[in-house]
Amino acid sequence: MIQIANHPILALAGQLVARTWRVFQNRRQFLELKDMSDAQLRDIGLTRADVRRASSQPFYADPTSSLGTGPASQAVLNVKPANAPAVPPQLSVVKIPSCKDGQLAA
């Protein structure tokens, strides 16, 4: 007896249906971003240009995959912690007189 659930064509069809549903839901939720003000978009780390760029994709593409990849969003991602040193520490090799030349101490 053949197991229908394990057939490769049905597995591919299931994956296609799942992806189509996910893209549909993401696009529907994405439309809510168009109604937000610039201040609200800034609060979540997006710009109006990010929303426009993502909405210009074809209907079958997931618009949420390109959000947050613009230059304005990248500037937000380059934030350093408050306790990070302003200048990175300089590393140097310390020579130990008891070691032979070319050997490093562990």
pLDDT in tens, 84-97: 777 777 877 766 66
Name all contacts of 15-21 with Cβ < 8 Å and 24+ positions apart.
Answer: none
Residues for the chain: how many in total? 106
Identify the three-state secondary structure at position 43. Answer: helix
State pTM to two decimals. Answer: 0.46
pLDDT in tens, 28-79: 888 888 889 989 988 888 888 888 888 888 877 777 777 766 555 555 556 6
Q: Are 49 and 70 contacting, i.e. CB atoms less than 8 angstroms apart?
A: yes
